[in-house]
Chain A
Amino acid sequence: MTTIGVGTVKGAFLLRSDDRSEWALEGPHFKGWSVTTFGRAPSGEHLLATGSNWFGAAIQRSRDLDTWEQVVAGPAWPQGGDRKLNNIWAIARVGDVLFAAVDEAGLFRSEDAGTSWQPVDGFNEHPTRPGWRPGFGGLAAHRFLSDPEDPHRMWLAVSAVGVFRSEDGGETWALRNDGVDKTAPSDDYDEIGYCVHCIVADPEDADTIWRQDHSGVYRTRDGGDRWERIEQGLPARFGFPMVRDDASGALFVVPLESDEHRMPVDGAFRVYRSTDRGDSWHVSGAGQPEDRFYAEVLRDAAATDGDGGVYLGSTAGTVHLTTDGGDHWATLPDVLPRILSVAVLES
């Protein structure tokens, strides 16, 4: 059974399939809530984050993806301060520890499977924080990576600030963005001002990270010390999501026409694939929408299942998928609300 979680602005939907060909739609869970990300606790419990313009953000958990309970002592900024918890954009696991990356930019950790959360002060009180400014999508910490070989090494992406790296389990963090063009320069802090949209790790080499940035597509081979552009074959540099199919090693991006327009180039929704670790890009396979398509795929609305499955959700509520590493694509018939997040929950 493969289960895909689709988080929308109006709740979470589940797509279930025994053969990844026929899909059954369940939901919505948390009807009316934005569902911004999914995660898994060391205990095996499923986690997801809900958000609302009215009622704020929280983490929900479930053993069976059917009955959910909210975590009462979730990530929270101190009472009386000036920081707001607007959304929870990532829930990641490093060993027995969970990390939650949030907007307004912050990092929290849980050592009890998500029951209680503590701030990661080394990041949250970073010396450059006074210079952090929100991008169009807010001041969001949104992507968290860790080194499978060394759990003390981790990376955190923050828009519109940059990529941070920690070598000591999160005690201290350093910005690592050399080679990336700035899009939001700071007058006061030279090392910030990078609007990173997404980062993806090579599971076999933690020092190789690919990056869809506001300013283009990049790769580092030294853990972020130096980044290089990798845009050969792309029709546009701009975009949000980036994922890697671990079965084939292929990378996927969805280019958009400039940061001003943010639409598929010429109204043609096209997923681009790289089969040479980012050196070059080509339109991925057959079966992508033929009619004009002006919606986009947001940062968290892409996921892979490790077996050739790539799942994308659009702002038009459509779900696009391939199960053969991008050779053939299909669009599911159901149209959901605007999709914010996609995750493989069971495979």
Chain B
Amino acid sequence: MPSVMVRIPSLLAEVGDGRKAIPVEAGTVGGALEALFGVLPQLRVHVFDETGGVRPHVSVFHEGRAARDREHLDAPLSDGSVVTILQAVSGGSATGAHRRRSTDAA
């Protein structure tokens, strides 16, 4: 199984164990995420939503491509691969406007 690195943003490190790069062994992008959740199970709900897919304002990148659908989550990894989880710029505006209101009191 290839040894790969999963990089996570500061907010996830804050609710993880403080690390922003977690080494795992995985053969695919989706497998790397599952391996990450094996180490830090609390991160699953922050990456995937109730649909079972990657959250709308979260991006998972591998080799410059966003892995959102099953095809990309099945993309193979090799030794030294890096999978990066990012908070998308969209989360703070535009479609994020509705969600932002949800943190205001009624």
Contact = CB atoms under 8 A, between A and B. Distances in A.
Interface stretch (A52-60, A123-131, A170-178, A264-272): A52-60
B106 A135 contact: yes
Interface stretch (B20-28, B51-59, B60-68, B72-80): B51-59
B14 A56 contact: no
Given A54-B11, A70-B42, 9 more contacts: A32-B14, A53-B92, A55-B87, A56-B46, A72-B41, A77-B50, A142-B105, A197-B106, A301-B105
Contact of B50 (A9, A78, A214): A78
A80 B57 contact: no
B45 A137 contact: no
Contacts of B10: 31-32
Contacts of B42: 58, 69-72
A136 B97 CA distance: 11
B39 interface: no
Given A50-B15, A55-B87, A298 B104 contact: yes
A195 B106 contact: yes
Contact of B106 (A36, A54, A299): A299
A78 B87 CA distance: 24
B62 to A, nearest CB: 19
B102 A137 contact: yes
A54 B58 contact: yes
Interface of A: 9, 30-34, 36, 50-56, 58, 60, 69-72, 74, 76-87, 103, 135-138, 140, 142, 159-160, 195-197, 214, 240-241, 298-301, 340
Contacts of A71: 42
Question: Which of A70, A76, A77: most chain B Cβ within 10 A?
Answer: A70
Interface of B: 10-12, 14-15, 41-42, 45-47, 49-52, 55, 57-58, 87-88, 91-92, 96, 99-106
B20 to A, nearest CB: 13
Nearest to A30: B14
A327 to B, nearest CB: 27
A79 B48 CA distance: 10
Task: Report whether over half of chain A's contact residues are helix, strand or loop; otherwise say mixed.
Answer: loop
A119 B103 CA distance: 22
B14 A53 contact: no
Contact of B105 (A51, A69, A240): A240
A340 B46 CA distance: 21
Nearest to A85: B50
A36 B103 contact: yes
A52 B45 contact: no
Contacts of B47: 55
Nearest to A240: B105
A74 B45 contact: yes
- Identify the 3 closest CB pairs spanning chains A and B, nearest first: A299-B105, A159-B106, A138-B102
Given A30-B15, A58-B15, A240 B49 contact: no
A197 B15 contact: no
B88 to A, nearest CB: 7
Question: Which of B15, B57, B87: most chain A Cβ within 10 A?
Answer: B15
